[in-house]
Amino acid sequence: MDTLETRELRYFLAVAEQLHFGRAAERLGMAQPPLSRAIQQLERRLGVRLLERDRRGVALTSAGEMLLHEGRAALDAVTAAARRARRAGGADSPGGPRNRLVLAVKAGDSHELLHKLLDVYAAEPDAAEIEVLPSGTCEQGEMLRDGRADAALMHAPFNSLTGFDSEELMTEGQIAVLPARHPLAAHRSLSLADISDVPGLPLARWSRDGTYPPGPGPEIHDQTQLAQLIALGRTMAVYPESARAWLWAEHAAVPLSDAPPVVTHLAWPAHSRSLALAGLIRTATRL
């Protein structure tokens, strides 16, 4: 049988990601024996072994690896369909408009562009209400896939546009955001090599897909934390030129002469049929 239930996929993904039945059962809020039976039943229905079990633990077979990859995408699609249906019907915002779009943006980036997009679109006949949803450095793609957002401002080369349709809106340079009192802040420009290993001023680290890249810099959770740590002289960061809009007096912005340009795109799911989203895209192409 080729049909899978979402419950079965959730069970399998929990085990595949934890590679431990006990931890997976705890994550799912259930006992381990019924979870084990459910996975065995799934294997019998599919006619393949998904997991190898021995005294050393649990490992994925090639079939299990495939179902892990495809299953994540399938569950995201189901979750996204439910979220967007509720949003279109106004069920997730009682008393609010039935026609509403969620736009994911990276906090602090493309500030003037975002203002212009929202203002011009709001003047359109039958414009939907736009909810702006701030996100971390690389969270916008996940938000589009699982339905938390209908569209997103994404920045190449930092964000992957694979699997999305997009419209290019703006190209800009990059800056190093430094403590205003640091000696590097007095430079007219810097290179990437100049800021790669500055004693006492490591580069901040943002989470990517739930993990932080290695390095001595602090793990950053939100824009306010980053701004304060830079002001205190504990870290620095690299941002698009438009980030100047959120800088404090305790910050300095120095252009990076050899950093690649950042291209801001409006991105959306390739399969979208939302008329409200189509209106937002038309507005973006005219900016």
Q: Is the pLDDT of residue 88 over 90?
A: no
At 84 the pLDDT is: 83
Compute the average pLDDT of residues 173-195: 97
**What's the pLDDT band for 98 if we cut at 50, 70, 90?**
low
Q: Which helix or strand (DSSP H or E) is residue 264 part of?
A: strand 262-269
**What's the pLDDT band for 95 if we cut at 50, 70, 90?**
low
Q: Is the pLDDT of residue 193 over 80?
A: yes
At 255 the pLDDT is: 98
Q: What is the pTM of this model?
A: 0.74
| Distance in angstroms (rounded) separating the CA atoms of residues 251 and 239 | 13
* Nearest alpha carbon to residue 227 among 158, 180, 261: 180
Alpha-carbon dihedral sign for residues 273, 276, 282, 285: negative
**What's the pLDDT band for 179 if we cut at 50, 70, 90?**
very high
Q: Is the pLDDT of residue 111 over 90?
A: no
